Amino acid sequence: MRIDKRNKWIKAIRKQSLYGLNWIPKRTDRICSAHFVGNMTSNDLSHPSYVPTIFPKDYKPKIINPDATLNRFNRLNERSAKKVIEMNSSKISIGIWLDKCGFIGGSPDGLCKDDFTINTKCLYKLRESKSLVNDMYYKNYIVYVNEKKYK
C-alpha cells in the first residue's frame, strides 16, 4: 500500500490509543471491507472507496463547534467572492465605510453614468463594527469600477 493512502486511512479512522495518542497500525492490522463504500477498496484517488468512510456513529464522535464551522464557511465564501470580483476588474481603494445592510456610504452594485458599474466590497470581519471613525482609517474597503464596452 502506498504511504499516502495509508496515511489517509489512518486519518479517516481517527482511532486513539489508551494514552490518547494517535493509533499507528501494525503490519498485521486490517480494515474490514464493510467500512468502504460498495464493500471494497479502490485504488482510484477520486473514488469514494479510496479511503474508509463508513463507521458507527459512536465509534469516535467528532466534536463540532458550530460557531467555528460557520466562521470558516464565511471566510471561505469571502475569499471566493473576492477572487470572482477581482477577475478582469481594476480596483480603487477608497476607504468608504459601509453598513452591513449596504445603504450607508455607497451603493453596492450600482450604476455610475452610462458606461461604468460599481461594486463595493466590505470585509466580513468588520461587519459588526460600531465605529465609523475607526473604520474610515481601515483602508481595505474596495470599490470596483468596470467599464462597459458597447458596440
- In this predicted model, what pLDDT tens digit does every residue of 94-126 receive, in sequence order? 555 555 554 444 444 444 455 555 555 555 555
Mean pLDDT on 52-68: 71
Q: How far apart are CA 44 and CA 48, in angstroms?
A: 9
Which of 26-35, 56-65, 74-83 is the most confident on average?
26-35
* pLDDT band at residue 128 using 50, 70 and 90 as cut-offs: low
**Higher per-residue pLDDT: 33 or 117:** 33
pLDDT reported for residue 103: 46
Residues 6+ away with beta carbon under 8 Å from 42: 36, 48, 49, 50
Q: How far apart are CA 136 and CA 123, in angstroms?
A: 13
Say whether pLDDT at 144 is over 60: no
What does pTM read for this prediction? 0.35
**Higher per-residue pLDDT: 34 or 112:** 34
What is the per-residue burial (b if ≥16 Cβ within 10 Å, else e) of 40-76? Answer: ebeeeeeeebbbbebeeeeeeeeeeeeeeeeeeeeee
- The closest of 128, 106, 129 to 119, measured between CA atoms, is 106
Mean pLDDT on 80-102: 61
